[in-house]
Amino acid sequence: MKDLTGLLDVQIEGLMKSAKANDKSTYEDELRNRQLSRTLPFDARNEVSADARHIAGHIVTHLWIIGVVVPVVAGLLFVLFTMK
């Protein structure tokens, strides 16, 4: 079965007419998913993009390191070097 992402809906419908029963369901699923993505587009006011989640995760990780790990390590080193 070929990649369907570069095909138009009309081309997929043409393939579906000449396909076997098990391939027809795949073509129908692809057409259904395309229709759903047209009716439910990404709403930037209510949804967060994957890129924004990725960047926010990195920011939170770095803030955690700066705010928690560095002071703990600095405190342990201070205690270690001031012990007699």
pLDDT digits 0-9 by tens, 20-30: 777 777 778 87
Q: Give yes or no: residues 4 and 29 share one domain.
A: yes
Q: Give yes or no: residues 2 and 36 share one domain.
A: yes
Q: Give yes or no: residues 60 and 82 share one domain.
A: yes
Q: Using alpha carbons, list the distances in angstroms from residue 46 to 7, 42, 43.
A: 30, 9, 6
Q: Give yes or no: residues 32 and 53 share one domain.
A: no
Q: Give yes or no: residues 56 and 34 share one domain.
A: no
| Residue 44 structure tokens | 């930037």
Q: Give yes or no: residues 58 and 35 share one domain.
A: no
- Per residue in 28-43, pLDDT (tens digit) is 887 787 787 777 666 6
| Residue 34 structure tokens | 């395309």
Residues spanned by the domain of 60:
49-84
Q: Give yes or no: residues 60 and 36 share one domain.
A: no
* Prediction pTM value: 0.44
Task: Inform me whether the pLDDT recorded for 61 exceeds 80.
Answer: yes
More confident residue, 83 or 30: 83
Q: Give yes or no: residues 1 and 37 share one domain.
A: yes
> What is the Cα–Cα distance from 9 to 30, expressed in whole angstroms?
9
Average pLDDT, the chain: 82
Q: Are 28 and 16 in contact (CB under 8 A)?
A: yes
Q: Give yes or no: residues 81 and 59 share one domain.
A: yes
